[in-house]
Amino acid sequence: MYCQEFTMQASRVRLQVRDHHVVMDNGILRVTLSKPDGMLTGIKYNNIDNLLETANDESNRGYWDLVWSPPGSTGTTGTFEPHHGKTFKIVVETEEQIELSFSRTWDTSFQGKLSPLNIDKRLSN
């Protein structure tokens, strides 16, 4: 039986923090996120500059969303809400690992407008 072993040389993970974007790059894959929102705006892989639809606005290329309804509401439609972070933070940054946080804290001024949740979206390489 023939078995070929593949090994990948570990590549240093790099982080670039710009005014409105954050870029994580390991030499194979480069991911660009909006800052502080945490929206996925670009994925570069091999010779493909962006796997996402670049004709779409940056806020509509890759995002996490939820659909919610206030307690006691009737119907099934709910409220569609993409998660927009308000705070960006670097949690871990080493040569081997990057972990980013895009968070939003709910308060009563958002009542009926945003889901009543504190959200901390974490992304890591």
Per-residue pLDDT tens digits of the chain, which is 125 residues long: 454 544 455 579 999 999 999 999 998 999 999 999 999 999 999 888 888 878 878 777 777 888 888 888 887 788 888 888 999 999 999 999 999 999 999 998 888 788 889 999 999 98
Whether residue 9 is contained in a domain is answered as: no
Domain count, the chain: 1
Distance CA 97, CA 124 (A): 7
The residues facing 46 across adjacent strands are none
Distance CA 43, CA 107 (A): 33
pLDDT at residue 9, rounded to an integer: 56
Whether residue 31 is contained in a domain is answered as: yes
Whether residue 45 is contained in a domain is answered as: yes
Residue 59 lies in domain: 14-124
Whether residue 41 is contained in a domain is answered as: yes
Whether residue 33 is contained in a domain is answered as: yes
Whether residue 4 is contained in a domain is answered as: no
Distance CA 97, CA 106 (A): 29
pTM above 0.75, yes or no: yes
